Amino acid sequence: MTDVYDIELEHVTKQFGDFVAVKDMNLTIKKGEFFSLLGPSGCGKTTTLRMVAGFEQPSEGEIYLSNAPVAGVPPYKRNVNTVFQNYALFPHLSVWENVAFGLKRKKVEKNEIKQRVGEALEMVEMLPMKERKPSQLSGGQQQRVALARALVNRPTVLLLDEPLGALDAKLRKAMQLELKKLQSDVGITFIYVTHDQEEALTMSDRLAVMSQGLVEQVGLPADIYENPESAFVANFIGVSNIYMADVVSRSGDDAVCKTDKGLGVKCHVRGHEIVAGDKVGVVIRPEKLSIVPVENAAEIADRQNIYEATIKAVVYIGSVTQFIVDIEGKHLAQVLLQNLFHNDRQEWHQEQKVKVGFWDDSSSLITDVERGMAEKDLMGEVVKRAQ
């Protein structure tokens, strides 16, 4: 079955004077998809959203909404609506009046306004508060009203520019799940801008990771997390141990690598076209590493990669314990160990000798090993503070 796209960007570039905010972007977003643009401040994600909305025009390239080019089409003539971080509710209007405002401006008949506003407020569970003013609402309730105001116009695409940014952490997590359920219920295409990696992984059907105006990688959340294509993506999505290495040998999907400090690693190629002698980055997520006291080494004897290590820092974080370990005096690595047992918890301490191991298919290789590599030096700062 052929995919139906609500949004397509073809070779879109946006310049502000000499500054290039978005560089040659090619992107397709399917009908009914929850798609996130993820990246640090200044990466071009909000500029991209504003071009789709019509608030900015591309310097080069073309944007299509429902297969129609929209060059020169003003925002009010595009069947999209935008929800901003500050919600922009009218303080002097009630919840009902805020949601009805756009329909009244379009001179929609009163009976239809009544029906559509009621449906929109019921959808976001705000109908009982229809007479309240924005100042009488919590942050989460204001966010729901802003969503209702956007949805009442029945847009083809809803654009959301960090709409949860003003909420506290607990409410933000709750609203992530509510927003994803709402999108699934209404079936409208959502484009969601965020710098929060957990938010993007939790909510998205697919996401694009951006850096310095470029799309680094597009894919399913699990694929991007498990198989990052660049050092930037590996470091920005979660936490990664990344080591520069040379490919020593390859046999099918298996490879043997040696890091720049002489540590041998067995790993999976995962589709990369690499041969012996190539420079790669070996990526190992902290939760993929197992750690045991030296006397319990038999517990991880089935791993293809096992090393002697020394604990340099231990931090208890509730559900997990975070370790920084020195592997054979060659590399620092972060390890995350889930805290499963309360009454039989292992005691750990600095300078303790341990064994660290991982399966070969728990690592991944990247061929782009330059961007983002500096971030792994943060582990060195953790060790300094702990000592």
pLDDT score of 150 more than 90:
no
CA 182 – CA 160 distance, rounded (Å): 13
Residue 165 token pair: 């940014």
> DSSP state, 128?
G
Residue 318 token pair: 């509730």
The band of 3, judged by pLDDT with boundaries at 50, 70 and 90, is: low
Each residue's pLDDT tens digit, 20-68: 999 999 999 999 999 999 999 999 999 999 999 999 999 999 999 999 9
> What mean pLDDT comes out for the span 183-201?
91
> What mean pLDDT comes out for the span 329-342?
88
Instruction: Tell me the pLDDT of the chain averaged across its residues.
Output: 89
Bridge partners (DSSP) listed for residue 5: 30
pLDDT computed for residue 374 by the predictor: 47
The band of 1, judged by pLDDT with boundaries at 50, 70 and 90, is: very low
The band of 280, judged by pLDDT with boundaries at 50, 70 and 90, is: very high
Each residue's pLDDT tens digit, 348-366: 999 999 999 999 999 989 9
pLDDT computed for residue 339 by the predictor: 87
**Cα–Cα nearest to 77, from 156, 22, 190:** 156
CA 89 – CA 92 distance, rounded (Å): 9
- Residue 368 CB partners (closer than 8 Å, separation 6+): 229, 230, 231, 232, 281
Residue 339 token pair: 């805290």
CA 379 – CA 387 distance, rounded (Å): 13
Lowest-pLDDT choice from 43-47, 267-271, 313-317: 267-271
CA 89 – CA 348 distance, rounded (Å): 52
CA 370 – CA 377 distance, rounded (Å): 14
Chain length of the chain: 387
CA 131 – CA 307 distance, rounded (Å): 65
Predicted TM-score (pTM) of the model is 0.86
Instruction: Give rounded-to-5 percent helix, strand, coil for the chain.
Output: 30, 35, 35
Phi, psi of 111 (to 5 degrees): -65, -40
The band of 377, judged by pLDDT with boundaries at 50, 70 and 90, is: very low
> DSSP state, 209?
E
Domains of the chain by start residue, with CATH: 5-226 (3.40.50.300), 231-386 (2.40.50.140)
**Cα–Cα nearest to 123, from 97, 100, 152, 82:** 152
pLDDT computed for residue 177 by the predictor: 84
Give Cα separations from 139 to 37, 136, 323 (angstroms): 23, 10, 37
